[in-house]
Amino acid sequence: MLSTILFIIVSIVAFGYAARQFSRLIENIRLGKPENISGETGQRWRNMLLVALGQQKMFKNWTPAILHLFIYVAFVITQIELIEIFADGITGRHRLFWPALGGFYTFVISFIEVLSVLALVATVAFLARRNVLKVERFQKPELKGWPFKDANIILWLEMALVFFIFLMNSADMALHQNEYGFAVSRYLSAIWSGTGEGTLQLLERIGWWGHIAVVFAFLNYLPASKHLHILFAFPNTWFARQTPRGEMENMPEIMNEVKSMLGLAPETAASGELPEFGANDIFGLSWKNLLDAYSCTECGRCTAACPANLTGKKLSPRKIVMDVRDRMEEVGRNIRSGDQQFAKDPEKPLGRDNYQDGKTLFDYISREEIHACTTCNACVEACPVLINPLEPILQLRRYEILTESAGPGDWLPMFNSLESNGAVWAMPVERDAWVRG
């Protein structure tokens, strides 16, 4: 009875704290500006099922894809055993499903154990790839410090999960003379040969409580980890834009200006106000851009595919997405603090439309980085969860050039030529002279 009460209390605390953290993430995403995501519902289901659930884009690189699949499938299927752990914890029973399911129960737990072994192999391989083999895309500057530790912490937590599963099952098998017949634990139970019944019961309880403790720790660690993509990949792929890869968001004011330069009638009348083009902070990005940032796996496939990065330039699409996330976290934290020093108008409540801390995204992302982008969409194509790293780059660049009237000096001749001649090339004749000629 005491164990049941303790389990219920621990569960309520763990889920309550996790819910609070996830609600903060939703609040942070809502700091972005509205965006209407349209497209076919059927395509959304395909994106979510094939890309998020089916790991489709991972298989462009088979070795990490297979290893990741081992961990992913084990993570999903293990939830069946976790359901039983919860049922046992709440009812105070032991192996609640065993009497009703019999042989099928043995098959399911055996299958989970085999997957757990494969997941353990994959986890060791991933630790080796990061720490021993030092795969190049995991050694970039943006992964130094906490991001690198974060990846290792998650891998060690996965190993702890596997350890406690086998401790629980093998001790239980030894306690019941291998009655359950689990595929892997039947061999591991030999370790406890000659161990007293009281010790075996203690070991089984350590495995049981250890497993659920790691699960709760993992749940509450997710909001601060790159492994948040385990959950956010699904809404991110669902809301992914269905427009062609290279299509950029149109700016009506610019389109009308260009039409007037070409002697064409503008589609809409000028408002008289000078708009703010692009974005210099997260408030100018859409909520989908911010959801992208939280969905990032930090796998580095975007950076590995980026031609600018490959030629030694400072740009790393992964860093851009991580910087957006870090800035979003900073702003959200400051707003929740309620400190009026961050308010534009101290007389009004602190919030999205009344926030100013003297910083922008340009304090995280340098001009050199956004200038290096060739808008080739290689990063967009490479992302395994349909993130668009190009979008924040374009928004920052548009703000710099169109709102600040700034930009690289070697771009100015092109802008001047475009304004004077309606073409990016400086020509002594009008652009449409060839038509009349």
pLDDT per position as a tens digit, 348-358: 999 999 999 99
Query: Of 265, 393, 385, nearest to 320 (Cα)?
Result: 393
| Rounded distance between C-alpha atoms, residue 297 and residue 318, angstroms | 9
For the record, the structure tokens of 273 come out as: 């106000």
> Using an 8 Å Cβ cutoff, are 104 and 96 in contact?
no
Q: Is the pLDDT of residue 244 over 90?
A: no
pLDDT tens track for 139-162 = 999 999 999 999 999 999 999 999
pLDDT given for residue 247 in this prediction = 82
Buried residues in 49-83 as b, exposed as e (16+ CB within 10 A): eebbeebbbbeeeeebbebbbbbbebbebbeebee
Backbone angles phi, psi at 366, to 5 degrees: -80, 160
pLDDT given for residue 222 in this prediction = 95
Q: Is the pLDDT of residue 252 over 90?
A: no
CA–centroid distance for 85 within its chain:
28
Question: Rounded mean pLDDT of 220-236?
Answer: 95
| Rounded distance between C-alpha atoms, residue 27 and residue 325, angstroms | 13
| Rounded distance between C-alpha atoms, residue 262 and residue 16, angstroms | 60
| Close Cβ partners of 246 (under 8 Å, ≥ 6 residues apart) | 375, 377
Please give the share of the chain, as a percent, with pLDDT higher than 70.
97
pLDDT given for residue 2 in this prediction = 87
pLDDT tens track for 22-54 = 999 999 999 999 998 888 999 999 999 999 999
Average pLDDT over the chain, rounded to whole?
Answer: 92
pLDDT given for residue 268 in this prediction = 66
pLDDT given for residue 407 in this prediction = 86
Q: Is the pLDDT of residue 428 over 90?
A: no
Give the three-class secondary structure for 216. helix
Classify residue 358 as exposed, middle or buried by CB count within 10 Å of its CB (0-12, 13-18, 19+).
exposed
